[in-house]
Chains A and B, each alone.
Chain A
Amino acid sequence: MTNKKSKFPTWLSYLINGLFLIFLLLGGMQAINTGLVSNYYARVIILCGINIILALSLNLATGFLGQLPLGHAGFMALGAYSSAIFMRFVCNVKMMPPALMFPIGIFLGGVFAAFIGFLIGIPALRLKGDYLAIITLGFGEIIRVVLLNIDDVLGFKFTYGAASLKNIPKTTNFFNTFLLVAVTYYVIHTYIKSRHGRATLAIRDNEIAAESCGINTTFYKTLGFTMSAFFAGIAGALYAGYIGVLNPSAFGFMKSIEILVTVVLGGMGSMAGSIISATVLTSVPEMLRAFSQYRMIVYSLLLVIVMIFKPTGLMGNYEFSLSKILSKKGGRKNG
């Protein structure tokens, strides 16, 4: 992680990035509202956004914390179901319009996933490497099975298990997805580029040395892991509002692997890589609907090949900075 200074003062960097985002947001909304971008493509874009948030959240755990959680889909599921159940309740009670209550639903999804993530972190983060991978896999599967069968224990219909949770209000749109992608990126970015981020990366680099520098490794691992779960939950909530129907089978080990593939291909530790990777891996299969049966084969082949030839992922550790690019261009002009 290098800190090459761009030629612009910090406030100007923030301004450039902010304006760029607003431009994208307004432009995108306009394009969709005027029908420039068809409804079909709008939905693909929204799905890209959801997968970007998922990738960024897992990247926090794999790339920055240096761990390999294999149960990430579990957190997505928790966020999806808690938000969905809340939103269905809102619809049934008919007091407020669902669109207005959706932010609460999203937040609920994130918080619940974060809470469970925190609990899981207590035993899981004491383990390292392979063992951490295995235990998170176990937890992910347990979450899936619980969501599948909990109605039997409760005695009433809660998650509807294998029968699917239906009639979830489809309140996810370009605006709230874009906003949440931006928020996710911003929070993770500012966290990493602070002393807490340095501590997190130090733990990844050499945990024993980090401890000897006075860093409370348990605290930072737990915080990172919980944040990762929080954003996965948010993505899950958005997903519920996007697709309208939920089934536990969508959140199994396979889904965790799909998210992992996205992060690995983009480069563990590169947020830009995660964004590009998630966008490509979401949109390309959609465009190539006809070849969907080959999609997973290409996925897995790609994964193996990239691992063999570039173990750090396509983008490696490279971090993207608009102002860096602009200042480079400016430099060349003057130089």
Chain B
Amino acid sequence: MTGHAVEWRLGNEDTLRYLERMDVLSVFADCLTAPAPPSDLWSRGSSGNLMEVRTLSNELEQNNLNDVPHILAIAQDLLLGRVTAERMGAACTLLSEVTQNVTHSGSQGYALMQIYKAGNGRRVHIAVGDTGRGIPDSLRRKYPQVGQSSDYLKKSLESGITSREIGNGLGLYQVQHLVRNGGGTLTIRSDTAMLQINEGKVYQWDDLTRIPGTQVFITIWGRHEKGDWNYLLPMP
């Protein structure tokens, strides 16, 4: 992994602590890397473009009635004056729908957001992670014949697909719809698989190192300057 200042091998407890900081991580088949120690990258309490990591309960009432609305309120403050009202609404929808899903995982989650100048506009990065069951595991019981782990990630984006017996399966469907319409990138890393939607195409990876839980990473709007933005894995 030359060219990366920091490398965490799985097994290092810090890995899990920093999973939520996917914005600055690269995910490879057997490790996660970052260009600098997370403490240097994220200890910026005065940063105006950053929603610092917020924790999310997996308990339904706490998550849905408290954590998620608080995160949306903070996100609105951050986005106000930087993006249009329509984009602020879409960004809040993305945050809301993904952060609610932490309740499926059985573990605490994390959310963060950052805004970057990109050309004449702004680019929004959203990352939500947890260290719980993971999407393939939670869907496999209800849909046993789907295929490999990455196929379950793809399945999770379809309308009506949910791990619950009486469910809805609307949230992630709307997320991928907004990302596609916004010219963004959606990356989901869960279990041994990863899925990425970029420029209308869907990419899947399997047999990566198992990472507990699910990490969702969204980039949207602004120019995607290839080379300047480090996509998580080389495109297959």
Partners in one complex: no
